[in-house]
Amino acid sequence: MADDQLAQVAKFLFEAGTLKSSRRTGWWMAGVRDPESVAEHAWRTSLLASIIAKLEGADPARAALLAVWHDSQETRTGDVNHLGKKYAGEADPRAVTADQVAGMPEALADTIRDLVDEYEDRESAEAVCARDADKLECLLQGIEYKAQGYEPAQRWIDNSRKRIVTKTGAALADQLLAMDPLDWLRTALGEKPR
């Protein structure tokens, strides 16, 4: 492997780090002053994808891997919310990914392009689970923001719930909607959940 190819990988690692400070802009419309970062969203989406996939009989590791890469293009496009897409359009994730991996070792570049293709095509069970995880994470974050007093987050909760297609994702969404975000802590402390 050539040094220039590893240099491209290293550059991408710095680029990927920008997602830790890139905010999910849709939440600003709900009044959230300091919303989650794209990286925070991707982490919990990956966790959810593995859970949904396991319970759906799909490959949890593959679903989580797809979820890791699902918003990686936002290093270059930013997180454009749905209103912004109405005016600016939507960047092609495949084209952005192709630019991001240019110059990397071909085996790695092919793998990343294949992951993005699989997620975007939504034909595999793992891709469907990863997509559901993306919507479920938005719903979950909305519940947390609403509990913090951001009532407009209900719109994101409702819209996300409508887009979940797996049986497991839907059932999990219903469980989350029936709980208080701190019920886990109350249970861990031996207290009664709300």
pLDDT in tens, 173-185: 999 999 999 999 9
Residue 54's CB is within 10 A of a number of other CB atoms, namely: 16
Which pLDDT value is given to residue 63?
98
CB 81 within 8 A of CB 174: no
Which pLDDT value is given to residue 89?
80
pLDDT in tens, 24-83: 999 999 999 999 999 999 999 999 999 999 999 999 999 999 999 999 999 999 998 888
> The pTM is what?
0.94
Query: 23: helix, coil or strand?
Result: strand
CATH number listed for the domain at residues 3-188: 1.10.3210.10
**Mean pLDDT for the chain?**
96
Of 11, 17, 120, the closest CA to residue 66 belongs to 120
Would you kindly state where each structural domain of the chain is located, as residue ranges? 3-188
